Structure 1
Amino acid sequence: MAIGVLALLGFQLVDSAFIARLGTAPLAAQSFTFPLSFLVIGIQVGMGIAIAALISRTLGARETARARRLGSLVLLVGTATIALLVLLLWAIQTPVFGLLGADGATRTLIRHYWGPQLLAAWLGAVLYFGYSLFRAHGDTWLPGKMMVITSLLNLVLDPLLIFGLGPWEGLGLPGAAWATSIAFATGLLLVGRRLSGMDWLAVEGLAGELKRSLVPFAGIAGPAMISQLMPPLAAMLAISVVASLGEAQVAAWGLASRLETLSLMVVLAMTMSLPPWLGRCYGAGDWEQIHRLMRLALRVVVVWQLSLGVLMALASPWLALVLSGNPEVRDDLATLIRFLLPSYAALGVCMIVVSAGNALGWPLRAMLMSGARLFVFYLPCLWVGARLGELTGLAMGAAIGNLLAGLAAWQVLRRILASPRRQPSSAS
């Protein structure tokens, strides 16, 4: 999963790097779309968490027939839900991007990019639901392999569709979205073909299973989706703060956001692969194994993320040079890297705790922890830093917010694991 996440997030960074070659304005336009793109991702990840948790617990309890019915239901419901969401985001694009601070020229650039980007978001969400089904059944190899395949395909298509080749003129900014759409569509065809050969889906008894599983699914998916929707909302508020500093700062922040997700590849891989394992242990009542898994996960996150963050902070001038040709954007990006990347060790701790909470039947605690991370620690510190020291202060404030959130999450987890080993309710 780490290899797959690296490939998937790598191609998103490649998108931004290619778009940066078009100029600051297209890069800023893409950066304004990140919060709404994260909104779609938040919904799909929240549903994916519920998929993995419910199916893995069901398999742990040896209820394979029910697991097949759940697999069919979540694919159908998830596909329809994301389709409605992307249609809504297309309809409200003008007022939303205006509120985020995009001027008229930037909104014109966004309008041509937003349609194919929403198509890519829908295809990527359906593909993610397929990945979640494989992960729930203990297969992380196929999702990881498919992430690599789609990333490589996107890497090949990006320069062709953005810049063109020979007499064929490129599409510019929309070309990046069309490249992603084609890559995801190809991945969806391959995953669907593989899934058709598995005995993981059912066509009978779906109505009865929907009535039986709707409440427990909502009990996990609801708080999980709210948890996942908080980062896009926080990203909207954060980019509105950054937009007050200037267009170059928005472009630098967009590149830093891409680099953030790439640097968190191991943490993201663990948030995908750890919950199904924890869910099976939960279903079997094996709390000793749960404790061992969590201790190991936290050690890996802190050591890996802190080492990587310090290394990337030291290499920030060279990283910024590779990612941007604009001197002003490059200098701002280097500043963001130096302060933010080491703080992701604490952010990783918070992400692992939230992910484990959803898998172990504490969705409300996980949701509250997500909310506290963003709205109690991260955003206030970011805003105060921007007021006191512009971009440098903003970067320092965001890093301090991540550190405080990680410490708070660690304290919450210590109390949870020290409590008596009982089965918590799905709404606790």
Structure 2
Amino acid sequence: MNSLDDSRTSLGLTLWRQTWPMAIGVLALLGFQLVDSAFIARLGTAPLAAQSFTFPLSFLVIGVQVGMGIAIAAMISRALGAGESARARRLGSLVLLVGTITIALLVVLLWAIQGPVFALLGADEATRELIRAYWAPQLLAAWLGAVLYFGYSLFRAHGDTWLPGKMMVITSLVNLVLDPLLIFGIGPWSGLGLPGAAWATSIAFATGLLVLGRRLEGMEWLAAEGLLAELRRSLAPFAGIAGPAMISQLMPPLAAMLAISVVASLGEAQVAAWGLASRLETLSLMVVLAMTMSLPPWLGRCYGAGDWDQIHRLMRLALKVVVVWQLSLGGLMALASPWVALAISGNPEVRNDLATLIRFLLPSYAALGVCMVVVSAGNALGWPLRAMLMSAARLFVFYLPCLWAGTWLGDLLGLAMGAALGNLLAGLAAWQVLRRILASPRRQPVTMERPIS
């Protein structure tokens, strides 16, 4: 019994050491996004609503980069677990090149289609004018952030979560210093207003890329030879992981577009409150997001080595941590919702709506966190198609129908209750799916060439 207790303690300590640097980094990164919104809120309700309309398309870029990052971490960690270090180096070079080009093409497309898309989301002409000045530097920031994220994925695949966590803190501090200067100005200079927030983020991410590039120079994680042959060999396995993973990550932006179109029917103040609540959502999920970054490479190495007993123990521990943490944080935030809303919004109408959203949404993120961890584990363990289907069910079977029904029944209060119910149902469904999958894991594929069962 003592041996079992020692094993659990060791596993918990290892999970803590892998996760806490990423948790601090995610907290800093998401914190500066919330700071952006808080500063923009001081400009008025219209600029805040304009920024809120851009979130779904910004999440589209993030969805593609995270999907590719999942494939990066999964394939490189599996190669390392199987003792294929030369292949891991070739994969590292390929994914950085392909990822950088892919995101560049995507942001150019998003710039070209901005007019009809924002009109379709419900932004009026005055709001679209505000968005137009903000969108170019925001897309630049999105591209720089994506390239930086691919670098983080390379470090995580090699088991180094410390440097990505530290770099997230550094870029967040740079952004925090630049935000008020570029948004509001200094002395006689009046500042850039809403676009200043995007330029601050661009400069912060560029700083992070310079530091990360210098660190990669001293690592033997990249290769310059054999890339074409490796591309031919790995394209199908990479697509088998990255394709479903990207679709999984692209579904939340699509759902966000549909959700904000529903919220837009309630009014401009409600859109602004929903945008702030979205920032709070990602911030409150910092531990879950950190775990979805630190856990998959570890699971991938276990997968490559065929160690399913360790996979079982890791998943049980991770889900316990998620549920306990999110319920505790959600309960506290719900109790403090009036003061939290007061701290980040100066408009009384926006503040009251935001407090309502916090009371219902924050506690429901315990169930949402379970679903997120299960999806990330599915991508790491060779079940990307099931993970994609699980993401689709979360959004389009549970979340959006409950959101629409709640809005129809009771405006913003009904919307908040419906969204919370959707999260709860999605978490319960993900837990049931995971139990069935892990009941007979040895029937699942263990080779990199057949990632989809």
Please report the TM-score for the alignment, with normalisation by the length of structure 2. Answer: 0.94
Pick from 182, 187, 197 the counterpart of residue 161 of structure 1. Answer: 182
In 2, Cα distance between equivalents of 1:320 and 1:67: 46
Pick from 236, 241, 250 the counterpart of residue 229 of structure 1. Answer: 250
Q: C-alpha offsets along residues 138-197 of structure 1, whole Å, 9 cap, x if unaligned?
A: 000000000000000000000000000111220000000000000000000000110111
Residues 96 and 150 in structure 2, CA contact (< 8 A), matched pair in contact too: yes
In 2, Cα distance between equivalents of 1:196 and 1:50: 23
* 1:150-229 pair list within 5 angstroms: 150-229=171-250
Residues 57 and 253 in structure 2, CA contact (< 8 A), matched pair in contact too: yes
In 2, Cα distance between equivalents of 1:91 and 1:341: 36
Equivalent residue number for residue 59 of structure 1 = 80
Q: C-alpha offsets along residues 324-351 of structure 1, whole Å, 9 cap, x if unaligned?
A: 0000000000000000000000000000
Equivalent residue number for residue 375 of structure 1 = 396
In 2, Cα distance between equivalents of 1:102 and 1:415: 44
| Counterpart secondary structure, 1:215 | helix
Residues 56 and 257 in structure 2, CA contact (< 8 A), matched pair in contact too: yes
In 2, Cα distance between equivalents of 1:389 and 1:15: 31
Pick from 374, 387, 392 the counterpart of residue 366 of structure 1. Answer: 387
Say if 1:68 and 1:325 are closer, same or farther in 2 by CA, change over 3 A. Answer: same
Residues 303 and 381 in structure 2, CA contact (< 8 A), matched pair in contact too: yes
Q: C-alpha offsets along residues 255-301 of structure 1, whole Å, 9 cap, x if unaligned?
A: 00000000000000000000000000000011000000000000000
**Aligned-residue offset at 1:423:** 3.6
Q: C-alpha offsets along residues 23-46 of structure 1, whole Å, 9 cap, x if unaligned?
A: 000000000000000000000000
**Aligned-residue offset at 1:8:** 0.2
Q: C-alpha offsets along residues 191-238 of structure 1, whole Å, 9 cap, x if unaligned?
A: 011011100000000000000000000000000000000000000000
Residues 80 and 88 in structure 2, CA contact (< 8 A), matched pair in contact too: yes
**Aligned-residue offset at 1:419:** 1.5
**Aligned-residue offset at 1:397:** 0.1
In 1, Cα distance between equivalents of 2:388 and 2:239: 13
| Counterpart secondary structure, 2:442 | coil
| Counterpart secondary structure, 1:210 | helix
Say if 1:196 and 1:403 are closer, same or farther in 2 by CA, change over 3 A. Answer: same
In structure 2, runs of 5+ residues without a counterpart are 1-21, 446-452
In 1, Cα distance between equivalents of 2:332 and 2:404: 27
In 1, Cα distance between equivalents of 2:407 and 2:382: 38
Say if 1:420 and 1:279 are closer, same or farther in 2 by CA, change over 3 A. Answer: closer
**Aligned-residue offset at 1:401:** 0.2
Residues 1:131 and 2:149 are matched in the alignment: no
In 2, Cα distance between equivalents of 1:43 and 1:108: 27
In 2, Cα distance between equivalents of 1:228 and 1:348: 15
In 1, Cα distance between equivalents of 2:300 and 2:228: 25
Q: C-alpha offsets along residues 80-121 of structure 1, whole Å, 9 cap, x if unaligned?
A: 000000000000000000000000000000000000000000
Q: C-alpha offsets along residues 11-32 of structure 1, whole Å, 9 cap, x if unaligned?
A: 0000000000000000000000
Equivalent residue number for residue 329 of structure 1 = 350
In 1, Cα distance between equivalents of 2:29 and 2:383: 29
| Counterpart secondary structure, 1:421 | helix
In 1, Cα distance between equivalents of 2:441 and 2:241: 22
**Aligned-residue offset at 1:420:** 4.4
In 2, Cα distance between equivalents of 1:308 and 1:68: 40
Pick from 76, 92, 96 the counterpart of residue 75 of structure 1. Answer: 96
Q: C-alpha offsets along residues 354-398 of structure 1, whole Å, 9 cap, x if unaligned?
A: 000000000000000000000000000000000110000000000
Residues 263 and 271 in structure 2, CA contact (< 8 A), matched pair in contact too: yes
In 2, Cα distance between equivalents of 1:396 and 1:204: 55
In 1, Cα distance between equivalents of 2:137 and 2:58: 12
In 2, Cα distance between equivalents of 1:27 and 1:196: 41
Residues 244 and 384 in structure 2, CA contact (< 8 A), matched pair in contact too: yes
In 2, Cα distance between equivalents of 1:222 and 1:196: 30
Residues 308 and 441 in structure 2, CA contact (< 8 A), matched pair in contact too: no
**Aligned-residue offset at 1:48:** 0.1
Count of residues in correspondence between the two structures:
425
Pick from 299, 319, 324 the counterpart of residue 340 of structure 2. Answer: 319
In 2, Cα distance between equivalents of 1:158 and 1:44: 24
Equivalent residue number for residue 131 of structure 2 = 110
In 1, Cα distance between equivalents of 2:442 and 2:315: 14
Residues 71 and 238 in structure 2, CA contact (< 8 A), matched pair in contact too: yes
| Counterpart secondary structure, 2:444 | coil
In 2, Cα distance between equivalents of 1:168 and 1:245: 37
**Aligned-residue offset at 1:417:** 1.0
In 2, Cα distance between equivalents of 1:40 and 1:154: 20
In 2, Cα distance between equivalents of 1:286 and 1:15: 43
Deviates more, 1:401-410 or 1:161-170: 161-170
**Aligned-residue offset at 1:421:** 2.1
| Counterpart secondary structure, 2:83 | coil
| Counterpart secondary structure, 1:144 | helix
Q: C-alpha offsets along residues 20-76 of structure 1, whole Å, 9 cap, x if unaligned?
A: 000000000000000000000000000000000000000000100000000000000
| Counterpart secondary structure, 1:413 | helix
**Aligned-residue offset at 1:246:** 0.1
| Counterpart secondary structure, 1:166 | coil
**Aligned-residue offset at 1:422:** 3.4
**Aligned-residue offset at 1:316:** 0.1
Residues 50 and 130 in structure 2, CA contact (< 8 A), matched pair in contact too: yes
